């Protein structure tokens, strides 16, 4: 009987140790995820910058237009509506 009892105790200790290791791994993964998801700085307000860009009314050169067509796959022209 004592061999059976020691075997049951041993199995319980192995199970407890495995659960502890899994809990440590899960806690470490959760800590890493929490650290990655923390926002250190709020997003800057870009309304003023966007208004300045729109106010300049920039017209791209023909080479810029061709480069944008080549890299993005979109159709861009100097004239609106075409």
Task: Note the pTM of the prediction, 2 decimals.
Answer: 0.44
- Assess contact for 42 and 54: CB atoms under 8 A: no
Give the confidence band of 54 by pLDDT, cuts at 50, 70, 90.
confident
Cα angle 4, 1, 9 (rounded to 5 degrees) comes to 35
pLDDT in tens, 11-41: 999 999 999 999 999 999 999 998 888 877 7
Looking at per-residue pLDDT, the higher value among 15 and 43 belongs to 15
């Amino acid at each position: 009987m004592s061999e059976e009892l020691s075997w049951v105790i041993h199995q319980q200790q192995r199970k407890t140790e495995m659960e502890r290791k899994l809990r440590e791994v899960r806690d470490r993964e959760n800590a890493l995820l929490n650290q990655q998801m923390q926002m250190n700085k709020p997003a800057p307000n870009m309304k003023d910058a966007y208004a300045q860009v729109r106010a300049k009314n920039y017209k791209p050169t023909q080479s810029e237009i061709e480069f944008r067509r080549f890299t993005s796959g979109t159709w861009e022209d100097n004239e609106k509506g075409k």
